């Protein structure tokens, strides 16, 4: 492969696409598609109770940490920030990271680079690279499909087989709930660990799996539990974090790696908490005790639909599995697809009701969406069912279908999706309430566990339940009475139980902090109704850097 003439002396800028994001504009920002995980696709019907937070662009952070060239990461710039950076520094390479919805921004950024930094080679990577005909839509020199660290190392003439150095990443920033900014220190948030990219299960709609090779393929950055343990220990001491967000599409699928990690955790007496993504078939490879000892306290699981036929769900009663996980203190984020081929206007409400009946702590709903690169896209395209003329900025699974469904119209797809979010909220209450329920169950079951690490972890979580969270329960009980009186009473019962367990401290917390939270929650509801949105801050980080 061709290398850059300056090799590892080349000066590199790696940028995410520009914001602001949560607004409608000509570059493809959409108010409905903010740069926020929960508000975008999980708790968006929950008003002031929605969990708000931002996540950094980990792909370019990983690339920056694994090249020796002088490199700047520019995360969430505005157009002005991006222009200023190009005009004030001299870059040999400008790398732009994007997903498909943001292709309009990539186009504009390439135009800006050509104008403001004509000497720069433009490299575009990330999921946008799966777009057919991208080379004719944007003015870039290289479009990188798949894993980017090894590509960039090769392009700079560096060793692409060298071990991967994992940067210390605080998982979330700008966390906010009920109108209050939550502290973002290492004690209160997780460190992100990226053990791999891709997933070998190869579900037909899954872009992450398809982008890194599809069925049977994935790219491991860390093959063994020992390697993972070493990375996590280093990051624990760098950030002081005890909690880790394992950004691996199917972390539990690799059982020997997870079990070796557990062995090392036990030897070193680590009471870490792990948030993981895992498919039902992978979860079933473990006993509840193993999951709890491994510190799994938050789990993202695809529920899709009982009649979807995906291999990962076969033989699993997801209702029972969810109940069992929560009984062991594991918070569950279930994910359901709206608009599968077998859905019709007649069975859709029933399917949504079934999804909601899982009573997960969080529920993501997504439209069935053929996205370039996936087997589903190929199939729908061959059947001539792709709808023409839809802007890529509107194909993100939270708006309307981008294909002709046998039984459901585009407009109805949106109506069903919105209904699913609302119904989950109305029937199960705010997610914050649900996680309190799960945490209390975990506490009761494990507060006297013989494993000191497990005890330590549930005690750590409980400090929050006995104070701040209990005050939140006090507020939710009052606010939710207007939406669903039964759920409001259940919230009250839970608060009473917490107070019985934690006594005077928790009663004081609800009496003193509760009214403040009630005020901030109502103020936030008014702000949101008036159109308030949130944007991530612009972040600039330089490595191996010397000013020119
Ligand atoms: C974190 C995340 C987010 C964060 C965004 C963080 C950010 N700063 O951008 C949040 C939660 C806000 C988010 C939102 C959305 N996301 Co998102 N998100 C993810 C997630 C879970 C992890 C991304 C990640 O860091 N992975 C780990 C890193 C290491 O991998 P990577 O980013 O792919 O980077 C590698 C390569 O792609 C490549 N690479 C990346 N950038 C570059 C740049 C250069 C120059 C080069 C050479 C290489 C390169 O090298 C990297 C290392 O190998 C992925 C799923 C996944 N597991 O990847 C979805 C994913 C990227 N999101 C996706 C989507 C669709 C969305 C949303 C539209 C929501 C939705 N409806 O699903 C919104 C869009 C918001 C917006 N306005 O842009 C899709 C993208 C699909 C596609 N084909 O474009 C994914 C793949 C999920 C999925 N399977 O559907 N997301
Ligand atoms: S199990 Fe999940 S991550 Fe893996 S291919 Fe299926 S949908 Fe994608």
- pLDDT recorded at residue 185: 60
Q: Would you state the structure tokens that stand for residue 523, as one six-digit string?
A: 């103020």
Rounded to the nearest angstrom, the distance between the alpha carbon of 127 and the centre of ligand 1 is 7
Alpha-carbon gap, residue 267 to 286, rounded angstroms? 20
Q: β-pairing, 296-304 with 219-220?
A: unpaired
Cα 257 to averaged position of ligand 1 atoms, centre (Å): 24
How many alpha carbons fall within 13 Å on the CB side of residue 199?
22
**Ligand lying nearest the CA atom of residue 127:** 1
Q: Is 203 in the pocket of ligand 2 (CB under 6 A)?
A: yes
What is residue 102's predicted lDDT score, i.e. its pLDDT? 98
Query: Which pLDDT belongs to residue 306?
Result: 78
pLDDT of residue 184: 66
pTM: 0.97
Does residue 20 have a cis bond before it (omega within 30 degrees)? yes
Mean pLDDT (10-residue bins), the chain, 548 residues: 96 98 98 97 98 97 98 98 97 98 98 98 98 98 98 98 97 95 74 96 93 96 97 96 94 96 98 95 95 98 85 87 98 97 96 97 98 97 97 97 98 98 98 97 97 96 89 97 98 96 91 96 98 98 88
CA distance 128 to 316: 34
CA 339 to ligand 1 centroid distance, Å: 23
The verdict on the CB of residue 149 being under 6 Å from ligand 1 is: yes
| Ligand 1 and 122: CB distance under 6 A | no
Q: Among all ligands shown, which has an atom nearest to the Cα of 197? A: 1
- For 126-142, the pLDDT digits (tens) are 999 999 999 999 999 99
Q: In what order do the strands lie in the sheet with 121-125?
A: 142-143, 121-125, 93-97, 12-16, 71-75, 539-543
Centre a 10 Å sphere on the Cβ of residue 490 and count the other Cβ atoms it contains: 17
Pairing of strands 93-97, 362-367: unpaired
Apex CA 373: angle with CA 371 and CA 223, to 5°? 115
| Residue nearest atom 8 of ligand 2, based on CA coordinates | 206
- Average of per-residue pLDDT values in the chain: 96
Q: CB of 93 within 8 A of CB of 123?
A: yes
The residue whose CA has the least distance to atom 30 of ligand 1 is: 59
């Amino acid at each position: 492969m061709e290398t850059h003439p300056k090799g590892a002396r080349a000066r590199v800028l790696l940028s995410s696409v520009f914001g602001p994001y949560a607004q409608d504009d000509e570059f493809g920002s959409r108010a409905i598609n903010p740069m926020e995980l929960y508000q975008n696709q999980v708790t968006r019907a929950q008003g002031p109770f929605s969990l708000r937070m931002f996540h950094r662009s980990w792909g370019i952070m990983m690339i920056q940490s694994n090249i020796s060239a002088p490199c700047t990461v520019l995360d969430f710039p505005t157009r002005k920030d991006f222009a200023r950076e190009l005009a004030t520094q001299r870059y040999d390479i400008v790398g732009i990271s994007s997903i498909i919805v943001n292709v309009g921004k990539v186009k504009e950024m390439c135009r800006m680079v050509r104008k403001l930094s004509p000497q720069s080679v433009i490299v575009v990577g990330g999921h946008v690279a799966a777009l057919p005909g991208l080379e004719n839509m944007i003015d870039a020199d290289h479009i990188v499909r798949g894993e980017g660290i090894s590509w960039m190392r090769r392009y700079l003439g560096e060793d692409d087989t060298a071990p991967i150095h994992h940067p210390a990443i605080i998982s979330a920033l700008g966390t906010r709930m009920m109108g209050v900014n939550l502290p973002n220190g290492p004690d209160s948030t997780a460190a992100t660990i990226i053990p791999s990219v891709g997933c070998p299960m190869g579900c037909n709609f899954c872009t992450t799996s398809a982008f890194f090779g599809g069925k049977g393929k994935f790219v491991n950055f860390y093959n063994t539990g020992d390697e993972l343990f070493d990375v996590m220990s280093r990051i624990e001491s760098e950030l002081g974090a005890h909690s880790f967000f394992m950004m691996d599409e199917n972390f539990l699928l690799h059982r020997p790696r997870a079990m070796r990690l557990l062995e090392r955790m036990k030897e070193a007496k680590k009471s870490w908490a792990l948030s993981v993504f895992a498919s039902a078939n992978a979860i079933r490879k473990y006993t509840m005790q193993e999951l709890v000892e491994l510190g799994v306290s938050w789990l993202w699981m695809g529920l899709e639909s009982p009649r979807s036929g995906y291999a990962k769900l076969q033989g699993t009663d997801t209702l029972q599995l969810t109940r069992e996980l929560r009984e062991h203190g594991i918070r569950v984020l279930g994910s359901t697809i709206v608009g599968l081929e077998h859905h019709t206007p007649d069975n859709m409400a029933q399917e949504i009701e079934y999804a909601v009946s899982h009573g997960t702590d969080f529920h993501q709903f997504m439209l069935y969406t053929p996205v370039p690169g996936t087997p589903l896209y190929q199939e729908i395209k061959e059947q001539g069912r792709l709808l023409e003329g839809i802007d890529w900025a509107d194909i993100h699974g939270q708006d309307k279908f981008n294909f002709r469904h046998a039984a459901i119209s585009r407009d109805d797809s949106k109506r069903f999706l919105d209904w699913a979010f609302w119904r989950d909220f109305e029937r199960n209450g705010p997610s914050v309430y649900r996680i309190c329920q799960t945490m209390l169950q975990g506490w009761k079951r494990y507060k006297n566990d013989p494993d000191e690490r497990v005890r330590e972890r549930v005690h750590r979580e409980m400090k929050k339940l006995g104070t701040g969270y209990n005050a939140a329960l006090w507020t939710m009980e009052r606010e939710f009475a207007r939406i669903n009186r039964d759920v409001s009473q259940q919230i009250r019962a839970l608060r009473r139980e917490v107070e019985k367990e934690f006594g005077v401290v928790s009663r004081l917390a609800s009496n003193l902090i509760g009214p403040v939270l009630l005020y901030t929650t109502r103020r936030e509801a008014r702000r949101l109704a008036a159109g308030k949105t949130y944007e991530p801050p612009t972040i600039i980080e330089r490595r191996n850097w010397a000013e020119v």
